[in-house]
Amino acid sequence: MNPIYRDMPTTIFEAMSMRARETGAINLGQGFPDGPINQQVIVMACDAMHHRSNQYPPMVGLPELREAVAGWYARHQALDLNPAEVVVTSGATEAIAAALLALISPGDEVLLFQPLYDAYLPLVQRAGGTARIVDMDRTRWRIDRDSLASAIGPRTRLLVFNDPMNPMSTCAHPDDLALLARTCLDHDLIAVCDEVWEALVYDGAPHRSLMQQPGMRERTVKIGSAGKIFGLTGWKLGWMCAAPPIARVLAKAHQFLTFTSPPHLQWAVAEGLDTQDAWIAAARDEHQASRDFFCAGLQALGLATLPSAATYFVTVDLAASGLVLDDIAFCEQILARAGVAAIPISAFYAESAPTHLVRFCFAKHRSTLQTALDGLARALPVLR
Ligand code: PMP
Ligand code: GLN
């Protein structure tokens, strides 16, 4: 049995969702929205299921979707992708797996930035790579130039970068993007960029892709997810974009993972990307309003929130809130006493985890958020 999997705990998202289901708690753990959910793409998927094909689509994706992804990035991120550079996958998770399997040879070293999305480390290891972990600074979540330089060696081939970042809800600083680009050029690295949260950047800020940096067009794999753009996380439809020599290798890995993804979902997402810009912008504004509502509620309870510039999440600093419990104990306590599930940030660390931070998902109806706040208000006096 592969020890990577034998000794691995169930992911924190599944574990907390299971606990929430068992206890009837409000699930502010795993990131999925109550809304807004794009009804138009659901109607289009049903229509395609009834009236178009239910058979295997092309391995790299339907031409309509590959064109729509390229068009969407041209409009929103000024990228000049050719549809042939887009490979459709079953969620961003499959894209990450395919990219790492395709680009890592046994013994290669891969730079990962901590906190890290939980899939990266086991996938790097399973692909035969050795992870070199770069700790981001723990107040502004910036990349330290010296830590980055000291993690690079002669076997370093790749870096994996998540921006906007889950869990800290930050957008990369332009200087950090420039630093990463220069590092990739100087050391001949490929950047695998997990940008699934690109459509959920708040306060009027643009999303900047590492692929836009000078020299990065030819050495970036840019990964996206329709689940996040349309509020349909269960659809598991994503894509990876890269220059042709890389895209060809990515497609080879994808062909033996899932080979292809449901055609009706692909048609629907293609039409959605072509026609739903106004809805996507309105959904973003609605999430921003939920963020503001929930953060104000947390602050009124004396909980210190970190800035949330993107994603469905906000993080509470327990120590700064006068709470001495560690993140796991706090999550256990609020599950039992407040009926609220959350995620301990230590789950996003492979080593030397901070234990004073807890992530909450605010992508829920106001009434649900209010019930969660009421539960926390009851529990907090006992926890302080
Ligand atoms: N990467 C990050 C950073 C995520 O937060 C998520 C899910 N929220 C994924 C990848 C997985 O995306 P998908 O559901 O499309 O597989
Ligand atoms: N990305 C989601 C989150 O951060 C969870 C996805 C999953 O459960 N694998 O909550």
Beta pairing partners, 313: 361
**Which parts of the chain are beta strand (E)?**
26-27, 86-89, 109-114, 130-135, 156-162, 190-194, 220-225, 238-241, 304-305, 313-317, 340-341, 343-344, 357-361
pLDDT of residue 1: 83
Burial class (CB in 10 A: 0-12, 13-18, 19+), 249: middle
pLDDT average per 10 residues of sequence, the chain (384 residues) = 85 93 96 97 98 98 98 98 98 98 98 97 97 98 98 98 98 98 98 98 98 98 98 98 98 98 98 98 98 99 98 98 97 97 98 97 98 98 95
Residues in the chain, overall count = 384
Residue 285: count of CB within 10 angstroms of its CB = 11
Q: What is the pLDDT of residue 157?
A: 98
CATH level 3 topology of 3-30+279-383 = Aspartate Aminotransferase, domain 1 (3.90.1150)
Fold of the 39-275 domain:
Aspartate Aminotransferase; domain 2 (3.40.640)
Ligand 2 proximity of 166 Cβ (cutoff 6 Å): yes
Q: What's the CA-to-centroid distance between 224 and ligand 1, angstroms?
A: 9
Tell me what pLDDT residue 171 has: 98
In ligand 1, the atom with minimum distance to the C-alpha of 226 is: 15
What is the CA angle 180-311-175, rounded to 5?
Answer: 25
- The whole-angstrom separation of Cα 241 and Cα 209 is 12
Q: How far is CA 206 from CA 56, 209, 231, 315, in A?
A: 36, 10, 20, 22
Domain residue ranges in the chain: 3-30+279-383, 39-275
Burial of 256 (0-12, 13-18, 19+ CB in 10 A): exposed
- For the chain, state the CA radius of gyration: 20
Identify the residue whose C-alpha is closest to ligand 1 atom 5: 166
Q: Is the CB of 17 under 6 A from ligand 2?
A: no
Q: In 3-state terms, what secondary structure has residue 74?
A: helix
Closest CA to 30 of 10, 12, 13, 11: 13
Whole-Å CA distances, 188 to 149, 185, 248, 332 = 14, 5, 19, 45
CA of 112 to the centre of ligand 1 (A): 16
Distance of CA 256 to the CA centre of its chain: 23
* Residues facing residue 27 across a β-bridge: 341
In Å, what is the CA distance from 378 to each residue of 2, 331, 338, 339, 373? Answer: 45, 15, 7, 10, 9
Please enumerate in sequence order all residues whose Cβ is within 8 A of that of 258, keeping only pairs 6 or more positions apart, or say none. Answer: 89, 90, 94
pLDDT at 4: 83
Q: Is the whole-model pTM more than 0.85?
A: yes
- Coil, strand or helix at 89: strand
* CB-ligand 2 contact for 30 (6 Å cutoff): yes
- Which atom of ligand 1 is the closest one to the Cα of 227? 15
Q: Give the pLDDT score at 176.
A: 98
Angstrom CA distances, 275 to 40, 242, 294, stand at 10, 24, 31
Q: Which ligand 2 atom sits nearest the alpha carbon of residue 361?
A: 10
Q: Nearest bound ligand to CA 162? A: 1
Sign of CA dihedral 262, 268, 273, 277: negative
- CA–CA distance, 10 with 347 (Å, rounded to integer): 11
C-alpha distances (whole Å) from 169 to each of 117, 198, 287 are: 12, 11, 13
Whether 91 lines ligand 2, by a CB cut-off of 6 Å, is no
Nearest to 148 by CA among 163, 133, 131, 158: 133
Cα 234 to ligand 2 centroid, rounded to whole Å: 11
Which own/partner contact pairs does 69-74 have at CB distance under 8 Å and 24+ positions apart?
Answer: 69/224, 69/239, 69/241, 69/273, 70/241, 71/273, 71/274, 72/273, 72/274, 73/222, 73/241
